[in-house]
Amino acid sequence: AVATPTPPPPTTLATPAPPPVTVAPVPTFEETGGKAAAQVRAANASFKAGSYDRAVSAAQDALREDPQNENARKILENAQSGQKALVQLKAAETALARGDFAAAERELEAARRLAPWDRGVAETSSRIGEARARAQRDTDTKAQSAKTAQVTDYLNQANAAMGAKQYEAAIAFYNRILEMDPNHQAALIGKTGAIGAKSQSDAAASGARPGGAVRSFV
């Protein structure tokens, strides 16, 4: 008698979480006096808070009052880069929403070049990494489910072949399973049983006993 093998429970594939994302330090500007000092301070405070529109407006006011103010010019340039980075980050979010990870990462990289200090760069990068890992887990789960279903189908066909005493067909189905999973215990046990049953069947068909040749004496 050959025991009917049962498939093992499906395994869960683990996908590593994306590493944490860091950002560059926020640019700092020296406090200077002069007739545009108040506007420069306002621009600097807005820039540090990530309010690039206000920083641009305050820096422009400072430059109108003091066209040679170097700090106002630097704040203006950085704030304008921050504005452009926000546009790129919005494009990255749009690409991420439609599942286009490559486009999202291109837009993110453009934003990082413009404003590597912006927290939005790190946050968007984390969301892209998490979404990509989640998509990979879904893909792995579907692949594992398809593999499990295929193995179960082969096992059922092997069992049917064993029931019909079609041992070569059963062995072929077990071999297919072992090609997919060389350590599949049910297939290993089933194949061993099928080989043994085939040997007994062949011996019986040839008229010989399994223990060896039969000698008769007169």
Q: Give the 3-state DSSP-derived string for 132-188, with helices as H, strands as E and coil as C.
A: HHHHHHHHHHHHHHHHHHHHHHHHHHHHHHHHCCCHHHHHHHHHHHHHHCCCCHHHH
Question: How far is the C-alpha of 187 from the C-alpha of 195, rounded, in Å?
Answer: 12
**Whether pLDDT at 191 is above 60:** yes
Residues 6+ apart with CB under 8 A from 204: none
Q: pLDDT tens digits, residue range 90-138?
A: 999 999 999 999 999 999 999 999 999 999 999 999 999 999 999 999 9
Amino acid type, 78: N
pLDDT at 137: 94
Q: Residue 24 — pLDDT band, cuts 50, 70, 90?
A: confident
Judge contact between 91 and 72, C-beta under 8 A: no
Distance of CA 93 to the CA centre of its chain: 18
Q: What percentage of the chain's residues is helix, strand, coil (to nearest 5)?
A: 70, 0, 30
Q: Measured between alpha carbons, how far is 93 from 90 in angstroms, rounded to an integer?
A: 5
Which of 45-54, 151-160, 196-205 is the least confident region? 196-205
* Range list of β-strands (E), 134-198: none
Counting residues of the chain whose pLDDT is more than 90, the rounded percentage is 73
pLDDT band of 55, cuts 50, 70, 90 = very high
Helix axes 119-163, 167-180, angle to 10 degrees: 170
**Which residues fall within 8 angstroms of residue 138, CB to CB, at 6 or more apart?**
none
Q: What is the pLDDT of residue 216?
A: 61
Q: Residue 184 in 3-state DSSP? A: coil
Cβ within 8 Å of residue 3, ≥6 positions away: 189, 193
Average pLDDT, the chain: 86
Confidence of residue 29 (pLDDT cuts 50, 70, 90): confident
Q: What is the pTM of this model?
A: 0.65
| Mean pLDDT of the region 50-61 | 95
Q: What is the pLDDT of residue 206?
A: 82
**Cβ atoms within 10 A of the Cβ of 83, count?**
15
Over residues 162-185, the mean pLDDT reads 92
Percent of the chain exceeding pLDDT 70 equals 83
Residue whose structure tokens are 């590493």 = 19
CA distance 153 to 157: 6
Query: For position 156, what pLDDT does the model report?
Result: 94
How confident is the model at residue 87, as a pLDDT?
97
- pLDDT reported for residue 12: 45
**3-class secondary structure per residue, 114-132:** HCCCCHHHHHHHHHHHHHH
Q: Which two tokens stand for residue 171?
A: 């062995």
